[in-house]
Amino acid sequence: MDKSDKKIQDLIKKEISRQRDGLILIPSENYASLAVLATMATPLGNKYSEGYPGKRYYGGNKFIDEIEKIAIERAKKLFGAEHANVQPHSGSQANAAVYLALLKPGEKILGFDLASGGHLTHGSPINFSGVFYNFAFYGLDKKTELIDYDEVEKIALEFKPKLIIASTTSYSRQLDFEKFSKIAKKVNAYLIGDIAHIAGLIVAGEHPRPFPYCDVVTSTTHKTLRGPRGGLILCKKELADKIDKAVFPGIQGGPFEHVIAAKAVCFFEAARPEFKKYQRQVVLNASAMAEEFKKQDIKIISNGTDNHMMVLDISKLSDNSKFIQEELEKLGIYVNRNSIPNDPRPPYNPSGIRVGTPAITSRGLGEKESTVCARLVAEFIKNPDDEKIKERVRLTVKNLVKEFPIYAR
């Protein structure tokens, strides 16, 4: 590696140390394997490959075609999909391509409310989705804080969307794709499963599969799937052509072939038995955390978790989730502040804290340690000025990252 750009080299080293020396509880983050990281750092990124395998607009794509074909086949097999497009640069791009493929501007989409568990690209007015399409939203039942499928059906029957989105950006319970599909069929809408968060769980059998219920599935590859930063679209055969055209030339130009190769490596790793074991542990760890938060009287939205994450409602304990997030960061614990359903507070300083277990599980922490992490976070939230608690957090983080190293020096 060229060491002449010392400024950037130093900052990269510092960032690697930060990732090594902290406990990442942000549920959308993870540690990609060294094989995935090495694949991204190859000259494959030099190549222009607009188009698809066997039909490119540039020469020299003989090997790139082979790589992309392998990535596509592995993705199809992993998720039981009829078609895969591995080119989307991110989950947001994947969603943008799906809307472009299936809708005209102004047509109707039924999305999951952002504060209840949805995503910006599911119709937020400050996102392209909310600007270009006509959205209605379903949220969570006020009492149970679960998706109420009867309510979803009621809204769908009134609104008559052309597309319905099922997703879990901050929803900690399982999605019932079959129920969503019945509703979509009743109103003659497409069903899209945005599995960006739960893709790894699905592959490992820790969450029900979206196919055959969804028409299209979008995902990222860097969250529970533990691959490179990127997006993915899977769909039924009859939609393949529309989806491919929407990705290129619809919204993207040259695909990132170095990332596509890394996606192929990630799919290879995700098909191995160790991956199944890892995902099981992710879920067990999240469940252990949830139990401890409950013991500590911290309210969890939806009263627990079935997956890798949960949102803590800290509105009775603090009016400053931003402060909690920033102070925990100083102690070596990374969480992210998050809105809660019907949040009276603004998104920049909302009433919730979102935590999850993919990253700590990648470094080997188990249920015992996850319980310890939850206890520390809970104690800190309840007593943010207590120096003794802060010191305990600092020391425990130091010991845990030493006992469970990642990206060994």
**What's the angle, vertex CA 277, arms to CA 192 and CA 257, rounded to 5?**
55
Write the DSSP string, 114-144. GGGT--GGGT-TTSHHHHHSEEEEE-B-TTT
Whichever of 49 and 170 has its CB closer to ligand DSN, that residue is 170
| Catalytic residue flag (residue 229) | yes
User: Does the annotation place 366 within a ligand binding site?
Assistant: no
To ligand DSN, the closest distance from the beta carbon of 1 in angstroms equals 29
Element of type H or E holding 294 = helix 273-295
For ligand DSN, the binding residues in 35-94 under the rule CB under 6 A are: 91
Pairing of β 299-300 and β 190-194 = unpaired
| Catalytic residue flag (residue 223) | yes
Tally Cβ neighbours within 10 Å of residue 162.
Answer: 18
Whichever of 219 and 370 has its CB closer to ligand DSN, that residue is 219
Q: Does 210 bind ligand DSN (CB under 6 A)?
A: no
Q: Which residue is nearest to ligand DSN (CB)?
A: 28
Query: Among all chains, which residue has been given the structure tokens 């469940």?
Result: 287
Map residue 358 onto helix, strand or coil.
Answer: helix
Alpha helices for 160-272 (secondary structure H) = 177-186, 199-203, 240-245, 257-270
CA atoms within 13 A on the CB side of 148: 13
* List 229, 280, 294, 392, catalytic entry: 229
Q: How far apart, in Å, are the Cα atoms of 405 and each of 22, 155, 211, 277, 333?
A: 10, 48, 37, 19, 15
For ligand DSN, the binding residues in 348-407 under the rule CB under 6 A are: none
Q: What is the DSSP letter of 15?
A: H
| Catalytic residue flag (residue 50) | yes
| Catalytic residue flag (residue 66) | no
Q: Does 119 bind ligand DSN (CB under 6 A)?
A: yes
Q: Single out the residue of 39, 61, 87, 169 in contact with ligand DSN (rule: CB under 6 A).
A: 169
User: Does the annotation place 83 within a ligand binding site?
Assistant: no
To ligand DSN, the closest distance from the beta carbon of 9 in angstroms equals 27
Q: How far apart, in Å, are the Cα atoms of 272 and each of 200, 230, 275, 279, 375?
A: 12, 21, 6, 11, 33
Q: Which residues pair with 194 in a beta bridge?
A: 167, 218
Whichever of 119 and 390 has its CB closer to ligand DSN, that residue is 119
Pairing of β 216-220 and β 231-235 = antiparallel
Whichever of 51 and 210 has its CB closer to ligand DSN, that residue is 210
* List 21, 50, 327, 379, catalytic entry: 50
* List 48, 107, 236, 242, catalytic entry: 48
* List 153, 194, 306, 369, catalytic entry: 194
Q: What token pair was written down for 201?
A: 């769980």
User: Does the annotation place 119 within a ligand binding site?
Assistant: yes
Q: Does 321 bind ligand DSN (CB under 6 A)?
A: no
Q: Is 91 left (phi over 0), alpha (psi -120 to 50) or beta?
A: alpha
Whichever of 224 and 252 has its CB closer to ligand DSN, that residue is 224
Q: Does 28 bind ligand DSN (CB under 6 A)?
A: yes
User: Does the annotation place 395 within a ligand binding site?
Assistant: no
Whichever of 13 and 322 has its CB closer to ligand DSN, that residue is 322
Exposure string (b/e) for 49-58, b if CB count within 10 Å is 16 or more? Answer: bbbbbeebee
Annotated binding-site members: 114, 118-120
List contacts with ligand DSN (CB under 6 A).
Answer: 28, 91, 119, 169
Catalytic positions, please? 48, 50, 194, 220, 223, 229
Annotated binding-site members for (6S)-5,6,7,8-tetrahydrofolate: 114, 118-120
